[in-house]
């Protein structure tokens, strides 16, 4: 699968998403579930994880680790997606239909990562 153009898009997607945690942390802080501690730390750690896993996808010896790491990370991120469906404030002003669509999108991203094994 490495010759597929999508294999090159995925690392860029995760690296850019990770960098955004540092450029626009307030956007991520607004959507953090209240029951999780240390929101700022979690936002930065998740950004680092996205960057590291995006880079690791590009290193053949780390690719399998990166794929499983991405799937685990996206599974954990489902907490945020479900939390955002819990109420008006949690939704950060995003329409409910978009929030609902994000859940299958998350599973699609997991499949996309798995496809690159």
48: region left, alpha or beta (phi > 0 left; psi from -120 to 50 alpha): alpha
- Residue 37: how many other CB atoms lie within 10 Å: 8
Packing angle of the helix pair 5-23, 96-115 (nearest 10 deg): 130
Host H or E run for residue 55: helix 39-57
Question: What pLDDT sits at residue 88?
Answer: 86
pLDDT band for 2, please (50, 70, 90 cuts). low
Mean pLDDT of 42-68: 97
Reported pTM:
0.92
Question: What pLDDT sits at residue 54?
Answer: 97
Please, are residues 83 and 90 in contact by the beta-carbon 8 Å criterion? yes
Question: Which two tokens mark 20?
Answer: 């955004």
């Amino acid at each position: 699968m490495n010759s597929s153009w999508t294999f090159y898009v995925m690392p860029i997607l995760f690296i850019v998403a990770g960098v955004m945690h540092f450029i626009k942390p307030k956007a991520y802080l607004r959507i953090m579930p209240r029951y999780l501690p240390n929101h700022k730390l979690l936002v930065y750690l998740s950004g680092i994880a996205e960057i590291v896993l995006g880079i690791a996808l590009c290193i053949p010896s780390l690719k399998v680790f990166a794929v499983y790491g991405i799937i685990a990370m996206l599974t954990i991120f489902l907490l945020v997606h479900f939390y955002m469906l819990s109420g008006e404030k949690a939704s950060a002003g995003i329409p409910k239909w978009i929030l609902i669509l994000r859940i299958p999108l998350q599973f699609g991203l997991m499949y996309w990562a798995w496809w690159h094994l």
